[in-house]
Amino acid sequence: MEQMEICDVQPKVKIDRGRKIWPQHLAASLATLSAACAGAVDGWTAAGIPHLEQAYNLTDNITVPGITYDEGSWIGSLSPLGSLVGAIPAGYLANLMGRRLLMLIMAAPMFLGWVMIIFADKSILVLYTARFILGFTCGIITVASPLYSEEIAEVRIRGALGVYLDLMFNVGILYVYVVGAVLPYLWMSIASTMLPLLFAVTFFWMPESPIYLLSKDQIEEAEKSLSWLRGADNQSSASIEDELKEMQSFIKRNKVSISVSGDQTSLPVKIINVFKSISVTSATMKAMNIIFGLMTLRQLCGMNAVLAYTVNIFEEAGSSLDPHLCTVIVGIIQLISTCIPSFIVDCIGRRILLIISGAGMGVCLLLMVIRFYLLNQGIEITLMGWLPLIAVNLYIVACSIGFGPLPWFMMPELLSNEAKSWVSSIAVCLNWALAFLVTKFFPIMINDMGPEATYGTFFIICLLGTIFVMIFVPETKGKTREEILCQLSGK
């Protein structure tokens, strides 16, 4: 059972408005450069698979066929499958090694994966292996990065820093969209290798999370880290001391009776024991239900499928513009729209943005259903060729202000310190498992069910997701970690 004293909330630390916030923004943005690496992995399929599907002349008499439809679907879906596998140990590794060190180490296999793609040519086995390795690193990154960003942030800017993960993910997608549109396939892959190198060189200079350091009883290092992150001139200033005490209190108050890391039993046994210690009505169980629900809806609304098969979608929908140009426009719109939550999420709140996001995506998917229905009926309306570009971009905007970024940073917001790592691992596993299924079966659904039924299914899921948020998701804006746990406990 969770200790009941978690709801004996201590007074909030008085925020010194004179503190500098740029170090927190710098650390969060550089940490989430790892997410830009993951975005490039996701967006590569949009230009990479159509190239690989084309046959090319090896010599005057020998033509090498392109990859098959099924092989292309596996190349696209093996990355989320690798992410699923990588997310399983990610929380444990983040606790063992630290958030910062784990992310830095992941730059090496990420670089290796891109090098394998460069030299793979059309070797299916090498491409499969490279995509799985790249996905594996993405799975670890998407657990460690949100933990780091949430733990270094003050309450007043926690939402703004949390949005960086999805923002940088979209930077990576746009980056590979643009280089894929202007550079040949080989140079697109070579350009992608630059991202993990840039991340490793820049993030190396950032401090470790003070909460992680305190959990390992490295109090002096935690104080140095917090002083740098808060821009404090005097490391021993009263505000720093007070915040350190609050963090220590949070760590002590939110331990469950069976520690995830305090004995020598195996990791699976530890997780089973923790589950047994949690009641159905506990704050952790309620948080898990909300997080798993948001992650499920985030993927089943079709977001990953739209990003992975953007070129194909525009080709099938009869867009008036070149599909590759449309893809670049989508990437730009997505990047711009992801900036919006960073300015408003700490003012408007998470819950309202999620509701607007779910409803907006549903409307856009309904427009796609109408477009494909008219195409199948042979009805062509003036300017209807612009509808796919408009609908997909509005869908991206709606996704980017809510269901895209918010589940990632609400995940550590809702959880106690003891539950953060292992629940985050399970939630990210769920996210990537569903991403694999959606990415793998989206082209099959389009082929077997037709576009109308496929987008209609996504529309229904968006509708259900909006209702789920309205009923079950609490507002966490402006609340301390202990206040959020008390709200979930109903006390």
Q: What integer pLDDT is reported at residue 202 of this predicted model?
A: 96
Structural domains in the chain, CATH included, are 16-206+254-489 (1.20.1250.20)
pLDDT band for position 130 (50/70/90)? very high
Neighbours of 459 (CB within 10 A): 21
- Say if residue 368's pLDDT is above 50: yes
Q: How far apart are CA 105 and CA 34, in angstroms?
A: 11
**Helix or strand or coil: residue 476?**
coil
Q: What integer pLDDT is reported at residue 258 of this predicted model?
A: 36
Contacting residues for 297 by C-beta, under 8 A, at least 6 apart: 358, 403, 461, 462, 464, 465, 468
CA 262-212-413 angle, 5° bins: 100
Neighbours of 343 (CB within 10 A): 12
- Say if residue 194's pLDDT is above 70: yes
pLDDT band for position 106 (50/70/90)? very high
Cα within 13 Å of Cα(173), Cβ side: 29
Q: Is the dihedral of CA 474, 8, 6, 236 positive or negative?
A: positive
**Helix or strand or coil: residue 281?**
coil
Q: What integer pLDDT is reported at residue 241 of this predicted model?
A: 80
Q: Which two tokens stand for residue 338?
A: 């992801």
CA 241 to chain centre: 33
**Helix or strand or coil: residue 256?**
strand
Region of 349 on the Ramachandran plot (φ > 0 left; ψ -120 to 50 alpha; else beta): left
- Alpha helices of 377-450 — where are they, by DSSP H? 387-400, 406-414, 417-448
Region of 326 on the Ramachandran plot (φ > 0 left; ψ -120 to 50 alpha; else beta): alpha
- Say if residue 287's pLDDT is above 80: yes
Q: For the residues 380-403, what does the mean pLDDT come to? A: 77
Q: How far apart are CA 138 and CA 134, in angstroms?
A: 6
Q: What integer pLDDT is reported at residue 1 of this predicted model?
A: 39
- Say if residue 5's pLDDT is above 50: no
- Say if residue 307's pLDDT is above 70: no
Q: For the residues 253-277, what does the mean pLDDT come to? A: 52
Q: For the residues 191-201, what does the mean pLDDT come to? A: 94
Q: For the residues 373-402, what does the mean pLDDT come to? A: 77
**Of 339, 469, 351, 338, which Cα lies nearest the Cα of 399?**
338
Contact 68, 49 (CB under 8 A): no
96 vs 46, more confident = 96
444 vs 291, more confident = 291
Q: For the residues 349-356, what does the mean pLDDT come to? A: 90
Q: How far apart are CA 130 and CA 115, in angstroms?
A: 8
Q: Which two tokens stand for residue 85?
A: 């596998």
pLDDT band for position 161 (50/70/90)? confident
Q: For the residues 46-68, what does the mean pLDDT come to? A: 70
Q: How far apart are CA 190 and CA 461, in angstroms?
A: 38
1 vs 282, more confident = 282
Q: How far apart are CA 402 and CA 341, in angstroms?
A: 8
Q: How far apart are CA 448 and CA 432, in angstroms?
A: 24
CA distances from 260 to 91, 98, 284, 303 (A): 11, 15, 14, 34
Q: What integer pLDDT is reported at residue 265 of this predicted model?
A: 52
Q: How far apart are CA 139 and CA 83, in angstroms?
A: 4
Q: How far apart are CA 139 and CA 424, in angstroms?
A: 11
Q: Which two tokens stand for residue 61?
A: 């008499």
Q: Which two tokens stand for residue 21?
A: 């916030």
Q: For the residues 9-23, what does the mean pLDDT come to? A: 58
56, β-bridge pairs: 64
Q: What integer pLDDT is reported at residue 11 of this predicted model?
A: 41
Q: What integer pLDDT is reported at residue 246 of this predicted model?
A: 82
Q: How far apart are CA 354 and CA 475, in angstroms?
A: 11
**Of 96, 177, 176, 105, which Cα lies nearest the Cα of 136?**
105
CA distances from 45 to 42, 158, 299 (A): 7, 32, 17
- Say if residue 478's pLDDT is above 50: yes
Taking each helix axis from N to C end, the angle separating 124-152 and 99-120, rounded to the nearest 10 degrees, works out to 160
